Amino acid sequence: MWHDHKHTDEVFIVLQGEMSILFRDGKVKLSQGEMFVVPKGIEHKTFSETECHAMIVEPKGVVNTGEVESGLTAENDVWI
């Protein structure tokens, strides 16, 4: 799902597997042990072709799908 976070950066750290972050003008592919920071306000969409374990770092209160409400929107401020 395309979304952005207007007021905060979002950090992705891949713990196992691989994932990609799509941007309107390109793509970043991350492998185990790699990290990427999506700057605030940048529209993006994450996906993985296979199972991927990633840690996402963002401030408390940030909704995973930004301002877009959908079936992919996770319950907020819950440790999983």
Please report the sign of the dihedral spanned by the C-alpha atoms of residue 56, residue 58, residue 64, residue 66.
negative
Does 46 reside within a domain? yes
Greater confidence, 68 or 11?
A: 11
The domain in which residue 25 lies consists of 10-57
Half-sphere exposure of 15 (CA within 13 A, CB side): 5
Please report whether residue 74 resides in a domain. Answer: no
Q: Is residue 21 in some structural domain?
A: yes
Counting runs of H as helices and runs of E as strands, what totals does the chain give? 0, 6
Residue 17 lies in a domain: yes
Question: Residue 41 is part of a domain; what is its CATH number?
Answer: 2.60.120.10
Nearest 10 degrees: CA dihedral of 61, 37, 13, 24?
A: 100
Q: Is the pLDDT of residue 79 over 80?
A: no
3-class SS at 33? Answer: coil
d(CA 54, CA 12): 7
- How many domains, the chain? 1
Mean per-residue pLDDT, 38-61: 92
| pLDDT band of 75, cuts 50, 70, 90 | confident
